[in-house]
Amino acid sequence: MMARINSAKELQAYRDEVVKKVKAAGKKEVAVCCGTGCQAYGAKDVVAAFQEEIKKQGLGDKVEIKPTGCHGFCERGTLVLMHPEKQLYQRVQPEAVAEIVEKTIKNGEIIEEHLYDNPTTGEKHKLESEIPFYANQKRLILSNNGEIDPTSIDDYIAHGGYLGLAKSIEMGAEKTIEEVKAAKLRGRGGGGFPAGIKWEMAAKQEADQKYIICNADEGDPGAFMDRSILEGNPLAVIEGMTIAALATGADTAYVYVRYEYPLAIERLNIALGQAREMGFLGENILGSGKNFDVKINKGGGAFVCGEETALIRSIEGRTGIPKPKPPFPAESGVFGKPTNINNVETYANVPGILREGAKWFTSMGTENSSGTKIFSLVGKVNNTGLVEVEMGMKLRDIVFDIGGGVPNGRKFKAVQTGGPSGGCLPESKLDLKVDFDSLTSEGSMMGSGGMIVMDDQTCMVDVCKYFLGFLKFESCGNCTTCREGLRRLHELVSQICDGKGDENTIPLIEELCETVQKGSLCALGTTGVNPVLSTLKYFRDEYEAHIKDKKCPAGVCKELITYEVTDACTGCLVCKKRCPENCISGEKKQKHVIDTDKCIKCGICMDACKFDAIRIY
């Protein structure tokens, strides 16, 4: 049974006690990343191996194995971070654990092979902070993921948890909202609307019931920022929501979270249970006289339900179809009651703002975009993972310094930000500062923070087709402009990919884009044309090559490419044997030939060839 905390004073005393206990125990903490990515690598087996080994070596009272949330460097999982020095071992397998315990944990000896080896410099880095991937980040939110056991509220409190709430209660509702406004915290879900203004609007409403919603319906392909926060530090989000609730006068909250995030839901449930037991949720929170509790609502996985009005309808048990604004959710939200809705990352920023003050928060970032932003850096980039950077960092620094550039010596071509309805920015825009306004001004957007790097083997027309295909499928289908418009845009772009475009195709696409953009109700339609417009703006020559020359310069669009055997062929027969269509002929030690009429362009021959003797033209 956990103690109930009834006031800020009791919280402070409890925290001191927890910190003292941890200090007295003097245990060495070993944090094993158990984010979804590392779990896929077998992180749970690593944890089990550690626990067994610690027991075997009788180190139970000296070492604590901590399964934590995502550390971000997914490319190198399973990650093992050893506190307090913060030595990082990467790609740890259960078999390596015995040696790590024996050598490193017991004797402080470093095992070279588990260290991160910098592919650019060849250097090996001992500490997490030395690795460029981490060194160039500003991890306000994510740093706790490597420190906190997400299933322990004591751990959260020891790391400053609930001090923000205590401070907010002391300040009162009005001053809390002023503080969030002064911090210029903008919505991390994509819209970038100032959170403080939303809160103020909801607080002003007179109603018998108000709600808080946390939007955890992270639907962008390749994005996992919110999932990682919920998995790694769920109480930060819950504390943020509690502060928002007490400030706006709400007593009930919904976390609208994807059904596909079982671990996040599990961790949320554990966190909610502990927070209730300790009186951080429920009645008379920290002696404030105010009540608040949180319910979890699992979403069915419709992308459009990330749009706040569609999300609200979904919570109400109806089909997720957006509604016009105004009225804004702050005026009339879930069940017609004033509702404050923010995204996971936005709430996760709130406790820090209250604890450290708005000035501290605005000292980071740019004039109009303060603080940090988490991105999921994926695609053709060496260091795939979750990164948190100060707003205003250049795209180039994110892709090359943190991301380590493009793998296999390929050339950088574009970076796509903002999820499926974001835009693709070319190399010439790499010096763009990443904040809400700069990205929008260049035809892309911040979105919820997806960042996909593309190399020269990526066809931008094909990329555009992919995103349109996603969007036409995920549109709710209510507005004709979005339902039919995206369907036809997808058809037209597909025609180009198939070599069936003509001189009228691009003008028609542009004409249609205007109507989809101006004529649709919600952001899915109005920004759904971004993939088309941004690729047309920056990669028009590639479209034209498809249309005029009937060629796909990147060698992707199947209808426009031909596979050919070059003179480098040694006649080894491998491609001939692998070809599923039996369309390669040639004798041993003689140059082979591909029958292009029968070839289905699967590329198996090219992958199989050890002599680089098959090319696309």
Q: Which residues bind other proteins (CB under 8 A)?
A: 302, 304, 319, 323-324, 326-327, 471-481, 483-488, 491, 504, 508, 511-512, 514-515, 518-521
State the minimum distance, in angstroms, from the CB of residue 213 to other proteins.
Answer: 21
At position 281, the amino acid (one-letter code) is: L
Q: Answer for the pair 351, 161: CB distance below 8 angstroms, yes or no.
A: yes
Between 282 and 499, name the residue whose CB sits nearer to other proteins: 499
Q: What contacts 566, CB < 8 A, 6 or more positions away? A: 613, 614, 615
For residue 64, the number of C-alpha atoms closer than 13 Å in the C-beta half-sphere is 16
CB of 444: closest distance to other proteins in angstroms? Answer: 21
Shortest separation between residue 475's beta carbon and other proteins, angstroms: 4
State the nearest-atom distance from the C-beta of 491 to other proteins, in Å: 7
Cα separation, 514 vs 521, in Å, equals: 13
Nearer to other proteins (CB atom), residue 179 or residue 474 = 474
Q: Kindly tell me which of 473 and 611 has the beta carbon lying closer to other proteins.
A: 473
Shortest distance, CB of residue 332 to other proteins, whole angstroms?
A: 10
**Residue among 176, 439, 477, 185 nearest 304 (CA):** 477
Phi, psi of 476 (to 5 degrees): -70, -25
Nearer to other proteins, 136 or 495 (CB): 495
32 touches 78 (CB < 8 A): yes
Residue among 193, 235, 203 nearest 350 (CA):
235
Shortest Cβ 193–other proteins spacing (Å): 14
Specify the residue, 287 or 519, whose C-beta has the smaller distance to other proteins. Answer: 519
Return the bridge partners of 124, or none. 117
Helix (H, G, I), strand (E, B) or coil at 389: strand
Residue 478: CB minimum distance to other proteins, A: 5
CB-wise, 172 or 301, nearer to other proteins? 301
What is the closest distance, in whole angstroms, from the C-beta atom of residue 202 to other proteins in the complex? 19
- C-beta separation of 540 from 501 below 8 A: no
User: DSSP of 474-509, one letter per residue?
Assistant: HS-S-SHHHHHHHHHHHHHHHHHHTT---TTHHHHH
- Write down the least CB distance from residue 486 to other proteins, Å: 7
Of the pair 238, 512, the CB lying nearest other proteins is at 512
Is the separation of the CB atoms in 89 and 79 below 8 Å?
yes
Smaller CB distance to other proteins: residue 65 or 524?
Answer: 524
Q: Which is nearer to other proteins, 381 or 493 (CB)?
A: 493
Shortest separation between residue 221's beta carbon and other proteins, angstroms: 15
Q: Which is nearer to other proteins, 283 or 491 (CB)?
A: 491
Angle at 269 between CA 263 and CA 274, to 5 degrees: 130
Element (H, E) at 341: strand 339-343
Q: Around Cβ 452, how many Cβ atoms within 10 Å?
A: 25
Whether 452 contacts 418, CB under 8 Å: no
- Least distance in Å: CB of 333 to other proteins? 15
Surface-to-core class of residue 441, CB atoms within 10 Å of its CB (0-12 exposed, 13-18 middle, 19+ buried): exposed
Nearer to other proteins, 373 or 472 (CB): 472
Phi, psi of 85 (to 5 degrees): -70, -25
- Ramachandran assignment for 611, one of left (phi > 0), alpha (psi -120 to 50 degrees), beta (any other): alpha
